[in-house]
Amino acid sequence: MSWLKDYYINEVVPKLKEKFGYKNIYEVPRIEKICVNMGLGEAVNNPKIIDQALEELAIITGQWPKICRARKSIAGFKLRKGMAIGVMVTLRKKRMYDFLARLIHIALPRVKDFKGLPKSGFDGRGNYTFGIPDHTIFPEIDTNKVEKIKGMSVTIVTTAETDEEAYELLKEMGMPFRR
């Protein structure tokens, strides 16, 4: 079991029970899954970039991503239906906790001029989304082999019913929010 999950069970759950007055441990919000997405619009002109993104996202997350394809054609973007335009991976259970621990304690502190994550990323239902403009902040990526720096979006899906509960959950887990 991941040390972050142990920390959640032993430290975070009691704090959230006390703060929000939950009577049952199953009422306490938890993280369900983490979705990591790389949108690659430039793949229209350079299809080779999809293969690089697949490998890099697999190295970062520890799970092989799936290719996202265009649902319809858009002539203005020279996009045809079925063309590969991104890669995504959904992490659950142990891989999710391992990725979150690496994100919080290793990758985000490596961001230049990092002032914390914005609180505006909550969607009203207890889920949090934020963008990472540079995927090379993860130490697993060899910067010498990277041809193009890619951005990615990370969505953390929780069982929290309100943004306040989700914010407290993620803050207790160690997410570095802005003051």
- Encode pLDDT of 113-140 as tens digits: 778 888 887 888 888 888 888 777 777 7
pLDDT score at 90:
92
**What is the identity of the amino acid at 145?**
K
Instruction: Give the residue-averaged pLDDT of 75-83.
Output: 76
pTM of the predicted structure, to 2 decimals = 0.82
- The CA-based dihedral angle spanning residues 28, 32, 36, 37, taken in that order and rounded to the nearest 10 degrees: -110
Which DSSP letter does residue 79 get? B
Taking alpha carbons only, the member of 163, 126, 132, 153 closest to residue 32 is 126
CATH assignment of 29-173, among 3.30.420.40, 3.30.1440.10, 3.50.7.10, 3.30.360.10: 3.30.1440.10
